[in-house]
């Protein structure tokens, strides 16, 4: 099969010789697949918008982070020296509200949630970012940026003490999300803050309010708006122009549009060469989102899966579809991903893999690479691995088994010991069946039986949580 970009003259990446890459990425800015040519040959700087740490991440968030994990791994496989930056948003209205609700300090909440996020990422097997800047530690750079924007006439102080970005002063506003400014303005309610000159102007610095965290500044005490943090952190960590910037689909507008306005407004240089956005994970017809209330946290799902297989299984499920296609979430689909993954491991258990360097000329490897180079086309890449698995089963060739393991490894799969993986850490009990039996026993007032079942499950490492309405949930200890 033809590679994604045959080495023709028109492809600048392909001209660099055999070791050079032919990776093509769909750039949200141009809505086209483009050859990925980093600013500095051999290196790539990547910035991904990270979580707002007020609650556990849900599996939708996990999808986006798994997608960029895949991107980072594949860029590294392609020989690039990648600097991967993913921020943590630790100042925000939702954080303040949640801390207040819980009666704990803001820092206590954000520290705890950030630690839980790191734990979830580790369970999912995501590579840690090289730098993980937190917004509250970059207030200085944010203020410098805002002052710079003010000096260029792109920021102004409103009557209420807030500082705004003047969208009218930035010519390219709307270019990423391709929105028409007049339509956007018409869509804004008339009751916009009177302090703004234009309804689309957005806040860079919010004047301090009693009971809220604030920092002193030349604009008066206050705290940053959401968007400015990413411009400041990306600029500080990766420079004025970065190679690749990613996030979930919903971040295109207004967040990324505003990042462009701030960064390009200040530097006069292109902010991002390639923009990537991961499509949503949906539940039914709706995107999974906290505001819709239809979320499963990543840790709840992981707790319900086999402790040995679960992380890789969930990540495999999240990456089986193409990152620009929406993905439905459901227990059967998750189970199906587990079955497929176990199929790969079974082949590796039956035919112990030899340690091999990947021969990219080998037909399966070539197909895998061409698919990955074609905007990270995981469905096609995994199809190549399926064929290779069939070939391993048929030929019983340790070299081919080694190739399967090595190719899977380029995107973070199939590296566990097959025997241990397949054995799993699963309990040999029918947990759901026993839970149902216990509910029935309690209804029949047979508390001795109900307690015996609880004890049996407890001994097997399963904790029960009785919920209102007679419903019981379980998790692993």
Among 230, 281, 327, 348, binds Zn ion (CB under 5 A): 230
Q: Is 166 in the site for ligand AMP (CB under 6 A)?
A: no
Phi, psi of 455 (to 5 degrees): -65, -40
Write each residue from 227 to 256 as x if it is in contact with ligand AMP (CB under 6 A), else as -, in one continuous string: --------------------xx-xx-----
Phi, psi of 374 (to 5 degrees): -95, 70
Measure Cα distances from 422 to 53, 314, 343, 349, 401 in Å: 35, 15, 9, 9, 17
The residue assigned the tokens 């500080």 is 236
Q: Identify which range of 37-45, 228-236, 259-267, 285-293 contacts ligand AMP by CB under 6 A.
A: 285-293
In this structure, what token pair is assigned to residue 12?
Answer: 């600048």
Among 4, 49, 66, 318, binds ligand AMP (CB under 6 A): 49
In this structure, what token pair is assigned to residue 154?
Answer: 């792109």
Among 83, 87, 252, 289, binds ligand AMP (CB under 6 A): 289
Q: Is 287 in the site for ligand AMP (CB under 6 A)?
A: yes
Among 5, 230, 281, 400, binds ligand AMP (CB under 6 A): 281
ω before 254 within 30° of 0 (cis)?
yes
Q: Is 288 in the site for ligand AMP (CB under 6 A)?
A: yes
Among left, alpha and beta (phi > 0; psi -120 to 50; other), residue 461 is left
- DSSP of 49-84: ---BTTSPPBHHHHHHHHHHHHHHHHHHHTT-EEEE
Write each residue from 50 to 89 as x if it is in contact with ligand AMP (CB under 6 A), else as -, in one continuous string: -xx-------xx-xx-------------------------
Smallest separation, CB 248 to ligand AMP (Å): 2
Q: Identify which range of 14-22, 45-53, 77-85, 463-471 contacts ligand AMP by CB under 6 A.
A: 45-53
Q: Is the dihedral of CA 166, 168, 169, 170 positive or negative?
A: positive
Phi, psi of 173 (to 5 degrees): -65, 125
- Alpha-carbon span 71 to 463, nearest angstrom: 37
User: Of the candidates 172, 169, 174, which has an alpha carbon nearest to the alpha carbon of residue 185?
Assistant: 174
Among 280, 317, 344, 376, binds ligand AMP (CB under 6 A): 280
Q: Identify which range of 74-82, 223-231, 350-358, 382-390 contacts Zn ion by CB under 5 A.
A: 223-231
Task: Residue 230: name its binding partner from Zn ion, ligand AMP, none (Cβ under 5 to 8 Å by kind).
Answer: Zn ion
Q: Are 265 and 173 in contact (CB under 8 A)?
A: no
Strand-pair category, 281-283 with 286-287: antiparallel
Task: Residue 248: name its binding partner from Zn ion, ligand AMP, none (Cβ under 5 to 8 Å by kind).
Answer: ligand AMP
Tell me how many residues contact ligand AMP (CB under 6 A): 17
Smallest separation, CB 57 to ligand AMP (Å): 7
Q: Is 453 in the site for Zn ion (CB under 5 A)?
A: no
Which 23-52 residues touch Zn ion, going by CB under 5 A?
49
Residues sharing a CB contact under 8 Å with residue 282, sequence separation 6 or more, in sequence order:
288, 326, 327, 328, 329
Q: Provide the binding-site residues for ligand AMP, judged by CB under 6 A.
A: 49, 51-52, 60-61, 63-64, 247-248, 250-251, 278, 280-281, 287-289
């Amino acid at each position: 099969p033809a590679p994604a970009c045959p080495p023709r003259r028109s492809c600048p990446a392909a001209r660099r010789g055999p070791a050079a890459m032919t990776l093509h990425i769909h750039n949200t800015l141009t809505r086209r697949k483009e050859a990925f040519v980093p600013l500095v040959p051999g290196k790539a700087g990547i910035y991904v918008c990270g979580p707002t740490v007020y609650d556990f991440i849900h599996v939708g968030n996990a999808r986006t982070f798994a997608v960029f994990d895949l991107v980072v791994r594949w860029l590294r496989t392609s020989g690039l020296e990648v600097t991967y930056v993913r921020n943590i948003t630790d100042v925000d209205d939702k954080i303040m509200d949640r801390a207040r609700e819980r009666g704990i300090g803001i820092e206590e909440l954000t520290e705890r949630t950030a630690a839980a996020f790191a734990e979830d990422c580790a369970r999912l097997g995501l590579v840690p970012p090289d730098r993980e800047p937190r917004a509250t530690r970059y207030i200085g750079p944010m203020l410098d940026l805002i002052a710079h924007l003010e000096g260029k006439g792109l920021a102004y102080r409103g009557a209420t003490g807030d500082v705004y970005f003047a969208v009218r002063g930035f010519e390219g506003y709307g270019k990423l999300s391709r929105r028409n400014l007049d339509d956007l303005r018409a869509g804004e309610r008339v009751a916009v803050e009177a302090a703004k000159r234009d309804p689309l102007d957005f806040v860079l610095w919010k004047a301090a309010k009693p009971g809220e965290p604030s920092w002193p500044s030349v604009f008066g005490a206050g705290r940053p708006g959401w968007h400015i943090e990413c411009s400041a952190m990306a600029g500080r960590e990766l420079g004025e122009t970065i190679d690749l910037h990613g996030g979930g689909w919903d971040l295109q507008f207004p967040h990324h549009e505003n990042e462009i306005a701030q960064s390009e407004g200040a530097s006069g240089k292109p902010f991002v060469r390639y923009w990537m956005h991961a499509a949503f994970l949906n539940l039914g017809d709706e995107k999974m989102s906290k505001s819709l209330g239809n979320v499963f946290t990543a840790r709840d799902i992981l707790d319900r899966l086999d402790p040995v297989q679960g992380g890789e299984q969930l990540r495999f499920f999240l990456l089986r579809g193409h990152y620009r296609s929406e993905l439905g979430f459901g227990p059967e689909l998750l189970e199906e991903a587990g079955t497929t993954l176990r199929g790969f491991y079974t082949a590796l258990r039956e035919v112990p893999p030899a340690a091999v360097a990947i021969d990219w000329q080998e037909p399966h490897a070539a197909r895998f690479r061409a698919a990955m180079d074609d905007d990270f086309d995981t469905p096609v890449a995994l199809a190549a691995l399926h064929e290779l698995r069939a070939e391993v089963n048929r030929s019983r060739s340790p070299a081919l088994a080694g190739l399967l393991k090595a190719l899977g490894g380029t995107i973070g799969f199939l590296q566990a010991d097959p025997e241990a993986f397949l054995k799993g850490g699963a309990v040999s009990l029918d947990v759901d069946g026993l839970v149902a039996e216990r509910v029935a026993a309690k209804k029949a007032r047979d508390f001795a039986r109900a307690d015996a079942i609880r004890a049996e499950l407890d001994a097997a490492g399963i904790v029960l949580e009785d919920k209102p309405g007679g419903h019981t949930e379980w998790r692993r200890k």
